[in-house]
Amino acid sequence: MNSDDARFDTRAIHAGQAFDPSTGAVIPPIYATSTYVQDGIGGLRGGYEYSRGGNPTRTALETQLAALEGGAHALSFASGLAAEDALLRTVLAPGDHVVIGNDVYGGTHRLIRRVHGAWGVRHSTVDTSDLDLVRAAIEPGATKVLWIETPSNPLMKISDVAALAQLGHEAGLLVVVDNTFASPALQQPVALGADVVVHSTTKYLGGHSDVIGGAVVFAPGRDELHERVQFTQFAAGAVSGPFDAFLTSRGIKTLGIRMQRHSQNALAIARRLEEHSGIARVYYPGLESHPGHELAGRQMSGFGGMLSIELAGGGEAARRFAESTELFQLAESLGGVESLVNYPSEMTHASVRGTEAEVPASIVRLSVGIEDVDDLLADIDQTLARL
């Protein structure tokens, strides 16, 4: 059976992961090599010449990533931001304009505003859950990219990928979806019309908080763009190393089952938090009270492991909450098997303070792991008791 035709959980385990033909090793080896012997000048075995340009362990991961997202190609990078940077540098020139969501990942906003902004790239931040605002932000001729993140970070806003892709394509834009929060197990942006999907594989794809990585996945028909971004990757060099690629491939094999458990645990915790008077609001798309609940139900096959809360007691209560949990460890990042708590305004989103993307001081974000839900609920209860 060709694993490309198989269902999601089968593809996650087998795409790009065929056993090693020379030894029968079930797991393809980690090719820790910088260069490759040539059979006479230019006589390459399997097309490999130098590991900045290509490495079999990286190829295995790229095949796996493309298969999971329904893409034709994928490129694996040293980090999520390296992936975003290579894509944006390939498609933008000075004077071009980008429309991005107003609560995208803080680092994405910083990259576009400060790094690309210094080279003359302009941007507008809008609430991408409102199609009229997106339409109004597009500058005909100048806007080249529509950048969507859904669910968004940290307020878990849901944007309509299919409608935005159509709107973007009518305006001639490249439609990019950062699918890090949902992961391909829960959301398939290519099937919804996106041209390109980006990932911080550091999060759910890797899934074990032990490796930094990123990816760009190209929809079928985007072969020329793939070649251009591949050239940027080769020429600028932000590739993932073979050990990192191996760890990410290893994590991906359990993605489907992990996302189910993340979603179950997060829903249970969201419901518990929603009941408490100290919590002014719970931002979780799995709750009926969430404005994007219905859209998320159509667009996603689960609601994921991320949620945010607004403390009734404001910034001081939020800080106290974030510093009182025990099982939920206070740390940046998300998407690992272990639960984490984060105080966005001073941690992950400190870089966007004073900008349109600023996060209120009363917000705490939880990355709900796959521990036993009763232990997680007990931790939430003791934290709420201390408010």
Ligand X SMILES: *Cc1c(COP(=O)(O)O)cnc(C)c1O
Q: Specify the residue for token string 């870089």.
A: 351
Give the C-alpha separation, 223 to 242, whole Å. 24
Selected catalytic residue, list 203, 222, 319, 365: 203
- The residue among 290, 332, 343, 371 whose CA lies nearest residue 107 is 332
Which phi and psi (to 5°) does residue 315 adopt?
Answer: -60, -40
- Asked if 124 and 99 touch (Cβ cutoff 8 Å), the reply is yes
Residue 157: active-site member: no
Q: Closest CB to ligand X among 62 and 178?
A: 178
Cα three-residue angle 53-59-65, rounded to 5 degrees: 125
Give the C-alpha separation, 305 to 221, whole Å. 32
Residue 319: active-site member: no
Contacts of 260 (CB under 8 A, 6+ apart): 302
Closest contact distance (angstroms) between CB of 56 and ligand X is 23
Q: Closest CB to ligand X among 159 and 383?
A: 159
Closest contact distance (angstroms) between CB of 166 and ligand X is 23
Give the C-alpha separation, 191 to 240, whole Å. 27
Q: Closest CB to ligand X among 301 and 333?
A: 333
Residue 144: active-site member: no
Region from 2-10, 33-41, 101-109, 162-170 binding ligand X, contact rule CB under 6 A: 101-109
- The residue among 306, 288, 267, 297 whose CA lies nearest residue 160 is 297
Selected from 48, 105, 147, 218, the binder of ligand X by CB under 6 A is: 105
Q: Closest CB to ligand X among 71 and 107?
A: 107
- The residue among 364, 296, 356, 363 whose CA lies nearest residue 103 is 356
Q: Which residues pair with 197 in a beta bridge?
A: 177, 217
Selected catalytic residue, list 52, 261, 271, 320: 52
Selected from 80, 151, 193, 369, the binder of ligand X by CB under 6 A is: 80
Site string for ligand X, 239-278 (x = CB under 6 A): ----------------------------------------
**Which parts of 15-160 fold into alpha helices (H)?**
56-69, 80-91, 106-110, 131-137
Closest contact distance (angstroms) between CB of 385 and ligand X is 31
* 143 CA to centre of own chain: 23
Selected from 17, 55, 79, 299, the binder of ligand X by CB under 6 A is: 79
Considering only residues 182 through 211, tell me which ones interact with ligand X, judged by CB under 6 A: 200, 202-203
12 in contact with ligand X (CB under 6 A): no
Selected from 62, 69, 160, 178, the binder of ligand X by CB under 6 A is: 178
Considering only residues 309 through 338, tell me which ones interact with ligand X, judged by CB under 6 A: none
3-state helix, strand, coil split of the chain in percent (to 5) is 40, 15, 45
In total, the chain counts a number of residues equal to 387
Region from 174-182, 184-192, 338-346, 375-383 binding ligand X, contact rule CB under 6 A: 174-182
Considering only residues 121 through 140, tell me which ones interact with ligand X, judged by CB under 6 A: none
Region from 8-16, 75-83, 249-257, 306-314 binding ligand X, contact rule CB under 6 A: 75-83
Selected catalytic residue, list 96, 103, 160, 178: 178
* Residues within the interface to ligand X (CB under 6 A): 79-81, 105, 107-108, 149, 153, 178, 180-181, 200, 202-203, 212, 214
Catalytic residues: 52, 105, 178, 203
